[in-house]
Each structure stands twice: as structure tokens, then as C-alpha cells.
Amino acid sequence: MGTYEATSPSGRESGPMGTRPGKIIAVHLSYASRAEQRGRRPANPSYFFKPSSSIGASGGTVERPAGTELLAFEGEIALVIGTAARWVKPDEAWDHVAAVTAANDFGLYDLRTADKGSNVRSKGGDGYTPLGPGLIDARDVDPSSLRIRTWVNGDLVQEDTTAGLIFPLRQFVSDLSQHFTLEPGDVILTGTPAGSTVVSPGDVVVVEVDVPGTSASSGRLHTTVSQGIRSFSDIGSLPEVDDKQRAEAWGTPAAEPVAEEAPALSEDLRAKLLRAPVAGLSAQLRKRGLNNVAIDGVRPNLPGSKIVGTARTLRFVPNREDLFKSHGGGYNAQKRLFDSVGTGEVIVIEARGDRGSGTLGDILALRARYLGAAGVVTDGGVRDFGAVAETGLPVFSQGPHPAVLGRKHVPWDTDVAVACGGATVLPGDIIVGDDDGVVVIPPSIAEEIADATLVQEDEDSWIAQQVGQGRPIEGLFPLNPLWRERYEAWQKKQ
């Protein structure tokens, strides 16, 4: 332990150690939550190298190069080697670790195809390995008790502990020491839990490693994403993005269906419902005794938009600090649903009509838009309201609110019966929205309701035409027998 000493920086970023490490070794896949998300669980750890020039310090920036789109963060626990380790046993491995700190293993998924697993370019960029800001003395902590947390723009997006690791931290040190000497100052990045996703210029990513219940902490590592002005040239491999890279960058669970058509809603029925106005659908539902199927109080963020789709549901419960601690962070119910929504589905959120915080923001809206969601309906507020509208995803809500989710809500469960705007919504119910509002249609009668609405719309259009020509409403709206005979004669001619 005693041979590791901090020295003054060499002119480039050196992180909390005061000198740049000789080697940075990163673990590919190490947390059970991440393995479940990726759909594969390794039998043994595997590794890649990052250049020491990728080190960055807290308060710095990381650049997303021009012409790329998939820069993703990965909050990680970093181990700093204190004494040389070669052929050390697992039970002796921790003795060779001087310190623990926070790290952010940034990666540019646009270059993963070119790297084919080596991650040289995709994870080797300048500033792609910020560390710090402080060090936790390894002698003072149990390696099985560490916690990693990551925030993006103030929202907690990753939270896990070393209890969630597939392989213990000691194993990484022991395993690597079989192949080469780990030298003082070398850094091991120990992998990221679920919740890693894409960030954009202007986003601020914060990572902290600590020991819950104690004062031991790395401090919070702040990194701001900036937009680069230079793009890659054809002297080497150019950025290349496909659906697989997008899915892995955004963090789509492998076990969940992506971009699949909702089976309860045929294309023919969808086309009918897109033509049918919500006011007409509401009238037909009322004729059949369904008066409580309107989602009250919600308005579209994009006036003139129309949503038609089958419901995927998300329930928030009122915020309680202990429950938010256990259910609000990491890869929570909200993120899991936005990561698994399919083409043509509508996310319906129960926020108890409380507009006092956001229930989604631009990152989640982008994710849902990419996966082909038909829209979102929430009886709460929307954060980043203008940016959400710019994604083109139709969102019906009670309007904008700047506060984060945790001010009012705990994301609790998904795909259950929810109450949204005074209406009960079941998973698989058909949701239709336009400028008049949103209605919920039981799938068993959706075809009947759509057909009846379109018939009524044809009739109402003809009536409006007659009124527009100066005819009085009496007897015409609704049609009396004489006017109905005239209408039916007109229909036959059509």
C-alpha cells in the first residue's frame, strides 16, 4: 500500500491521483442488472484497455463528435492499485488496492462496429474516463459494501451496490495479475449496472461512490457533455449506427420486445380510429352506457396531433422518501417501461392528477419516439416541455412543470390497471386522443365503436353541408324521417 504516492499533474488531466495511470483496464460486463438487460451473463470476466489520455477530472467536459449520436455514460467504481500485483490470490488481492473512486466510462456507440469489441476508438476519446473527485482509502472499506450512483441533470438513473456484482472486486485484481503486473497508479474500471443510456450536449452527468451509512465517499464527479465541431474523416472507419447499436446504447432490455406491433389493434382498425374524432367516439361509447371513459384534464403538447394505440400502463405512488430510495433510482419501473414500449403502443401514466412535478422528460420521450410509441398520456406534468414537443412524440398531459419526478412521485409498477384523469385504463385498452381529449375504448367493442362513429361522421358532415346552405336546424339535426329519407337517397348516389 505504502508505495503509491500522488505526484503533481503532468500538464494533462490526471484525475484525483495527481498523476496519469500507466494502465486503465475496464471490465466489460459485471453487474447482474446489466447482464439481465443485455440478455447475456458471462461465466468469467472479460476486459479491455483504455488509454491514459482518456482521463478527465471532475468539472470537465466530454465531447460528442460532430456527426455522431450515441454517446453513453457508464457510472462505475474505479480501483486504484497501490502496490504491484502479480499472481496474487483473491483473498490477498484487496491488499494491493490503495483507493476507490468514482469513474464514468463514456463510450461512443457510433464507433463500436469499427472496434469489434476492442473499444479503442469508441471508449478511448480524450476525457472519456473522468475520475474522482476524491479517493476513499481502500483500507477503510469492505469491498462488498460499496455503492455506485449516477445522476443525469439531477435525476437518479443508476443505483447499485457491489452486492449486485456477478464477480467480486477482489477477483478482478487477482485475475488480471495472472496475465501482467498491475503497477501502482493503475486503474481498474469495474463495470456499470443497468441504467446506462445516451446523453446529449448540455447534459450534466454526476457519479458518486460511497458506503451507505458512513461518511466514506468519493465526492460527486461532474461531467458536462459538449458538442464537437469536428467530424471524423474517411482516413479511417467512419461512424456507423444500426438498430442494435441504438438499442444497446439506450439500454433496451434484450428480453423485452422492441418495435413489435400491438396484436389487439389491426391496421384496418387503426386506420378507422385515426379517421374517427374523439368527440364522435365518446358519443358512441355513451350510447352503449360507457360514460366514464374520458381521461380528463389532459391536453396535447402538439395541437392537431392524433394518437391511436394500445395501452401500456405505469403507476406512480405518492412520494415517500424511503420508498423513493428503494424504487425511484436506478433502472426503475418508469425507465423499464419507456425502454420496452412497442410500435403503436401508448404509455398511460397514473400520476393521481398531480401536476406538481414532471412525469417524463425529453430523454424518455426520445426513447419512446425511437421505439415507435404512438404517444404518452399522463395526468401529471411534463418536464422539458418544449424539448419533448420537439421530439415529435404526441404527449397529452396537464402541462409543463420544471420539477423532477421525485418531488411528488415514486415509480411503482407497470402493466397494471391504473387510474388516469379519472378513467380506469387496463393494459391493452385502446387509447385515442385528439384536440378534444382522450378516450379509453375496451378492445372487445373497438371495431363496433369505430364503424358507428364513422357512419355518424358521414351523416353529420351532410347535415353541416345542409346547414351551411341556409337550411334550418329543426328536423335536420337530428334527422327527422323526411330528412333521413333525403340523406339516404344522397348516400345511394354516392
Query: Residue 413 maps to which CATH number?
Result: 3.50.30.40
Residue 14's pLDDT band, with cuts at 50, 70 and 90, is low
Q: Do 233 and 316 share a structural domain?
A: no
Question: For residues 128 and 243, which has the higher predicted lDDT (pLDDT)?
Answer: 128
Mean pLDDT along residues 141-159: 95
Q: Which long-range contacts (CB under 8 A, 24 or more apart) does 171-175 make?
A: 171/45, 171/90, 171/93, 172/27, 172/45, 172/79, 172/93, 173/79, 173/81, 173/85, 173/88, 173/93, 173/94, 173/96, 173/97, 174/88, 174/89, 174/90, 174/92, 174/93, 175/44, 175/45
Asked if residue 106 belongs to a domain, the reply is yes
Asked if residue 187 belongs to a domain, the reply is yes
Asked if residue 120 belongs to a domain, the reply is yes
Q: Please report the pLDDT score of residue 264 as a whole number.
A: 60
Mean pLDDT along residues 228-235: 88
Q: Do 463 and 433 share a structural domain?
A: no
Amino acid at 103: A
Q: Do 436 and 345 share a structural domain?
A: yes
Q: Is the pLDDT of residue 294 over 50?
A: yes
Asked if residue 412 belongs to a domain, the reply is yes
Average pLDDT value for the chain: 89
> Number of folded domains in the chain?
3
Q: Quote the percentage of the chain above a pLDDT of 70.
A: 93
Q: What is the tens place of the pLDDT at every residue in 34-68?
A: 988 887 889 999 999 999 999 999 999 999 999 99
**197 contacts 109 by C-beta, under 8 angstroms:** no
Q: Which three cell numbers stand for residue 178?
A: 495472472
Q: Please report the pLDDT score of residue 189 as a whole number.
A: 98
Mean pLDDT along residues 162-175: 95
Q: Please report the pLDDT score of residue 4 as a whole number.
A: 41
Q: What is the tens place of the pLDDT at every residue in 324-341?
A: 888 887 788 999 899 889
Cα dihedral angle (341, 346, 350, 353), rounded to 10 degrees? 140
Mean pLDDT along residues 285-307: 94
Does 285 carry a binding-site annotation?
A: no
Q: Which three cell numbers stand for residue 96?
A: 494491493
Q: Do 311 and 222 share a structural domain?
A: no
Q: Do 408 and 480 share a structural domain?
A: no
d(CA 363, CA 129): 23
Q: Is the preceding peptide bond at 478 cis, omega within 30 degrees of 0?
A: yes
Does 188 carry a binding-site annotation?
A: no
Q: Please report the pLDDT score of residue 367 as a whole number.
A: 92
Pairing verdict, β 107-108 and 71-72: antiparallel
Q: Please report the pLDDT score of residue 255 as a whole number.
A: 42
From residue 233, alpha-carbon distances to 66, 67, 194, 230, 398 in Å are 11, 10, 33, 9, 46
Q: Is the pLDDT of residue 470 over 90?
A: no
**298 contacts 377 by C-beta, under 8 angstroms:** yes
From residue 317, alpha-carbon distances to 9, 128, 280, 358, 430 in Å are 49, 37, 33, 14, 24
Q: Please report the pLDDT score of residue 10 as a whole number.
A: 33
User: Quick one: three-class SS letters along the chain?
Assistant: CCCCCCCCCCCCCCHHHCCCCCCEEEECCCEHHHHHHHCCCCCCCCEEEECHHHEEECCEEEEEEECCCCEECCEEEEEEECCCECCCCHHHHHHHEEEEEEEECCEEHHHHHHHCCCCCCCCCCCCCEEECCCCEEHHHCCCCCCEEEEEECCEEEEEEEHHHECCCHHHHHHHHHCCCCECCCCEEECCCCCCCCECCCCCEEEEEEECCCCCCECCCEEEEEEEEEEECCCCCCCCCCCHHHHHHHHCCCCCCCCCCCCCCCCHHHHHHHHHCCHHHHHHHHHHCCCCCCEECCCEECCCCCCEEEEEEEEEEEECCHHHHHHHCCCCCHHHHHHHHCCCCEEEEEECCCCCCCECCCHHHHHHHHHCCCCEEEECCEECCHHHHHHCCCCEEECCECCCCHHHCEEEEEECCCEEECCEEECCCCEEEEECCEEEEECHHHHHHHHHHHHHHHHHHHHHHHHHHCCCCCCCCCCCCHHHHHHHHHHHHHC
Lowest mean pLDDT segment, chosen from 84-88, 171-175, 258-262, 386-390: 258-262
Q: How many Å is the Cα radius of gyration of the chain?
A: 28
128, 127, 147, 149: which is closest to 136 by C-alpha?
Answer: 147
171, 29, 11: which is closest to 96 by C-alpha?
Answer: 171
Asked if residue 18 belongs to a domain, the reply is no
Q: What is the tens place of the pLDDT at every residue in 101-113?
A: 999 999 999 998 8
Q: Do 229 and 108 share a structural domain?
A: yes
Mean pLDDT along residues 425-434: 95
Asked if residue 186 belongs to a domain, the reply is yes
Q: Do 87 and 225 share a structural domain?
A: yes
- What CATH number is associated with residue 141? 3.90.850.10
Question: For residues 161 and 485, which has the higher predicted lDDT (pLDDT)?
Answer: 161
Q: Do 409 and 434 share a structural domain?
A: yes
Does 383 carry a binding-site annotation?
A: yes
Which of 250, 267, 302 marks a domain boundary?
250
Q: Do 186 and 126 share a structural domain?
A: yes
Lowest mean pLDDT segment, chosen from 18-27, 153-162, 242-251, 276-285: 242-251
Mean pLDDT along residues 2-20: 51
Q: Do 332 and 230 share a structural domain?
A: no
Q: Is the pLDDT of residue 15 over 70?
A: no
Q: Do 227 and 302 share a structural domain?
A: no
Q: Do 367 and 415 share a structural domain?
A: yes
Q: Please report the pLDDT score of residue 252 as a whole number.
A: 62
Q: Please report the pLDDT score of residue 459 as a whole number.
A: 73
Q: Please report the pLDDT score of residue 8 as a whole number.
A: 32
Does 110 carry a binding-site annotation?
A: no
The parent domain of residue 435 ranges over 293-441
Question: For residues 241 and 29, which has the higher predicted lDDT (pLDDT)?
Answer: 29
Of 8-17, 77-86, 255-264, give the range with the top mean pLDDT: 77-86
Asked if residue 150 belongs to a domain, the reply is yes
Asked if residue 115 belongs to a domain, the reply is yes
Q: Please report the pLDDT score of residue 234 as a whole number.
A: 85
d(CA 490, CA 12): 82
- Quote the distance between the C-alpha of residue 376 and its chain's center: 14
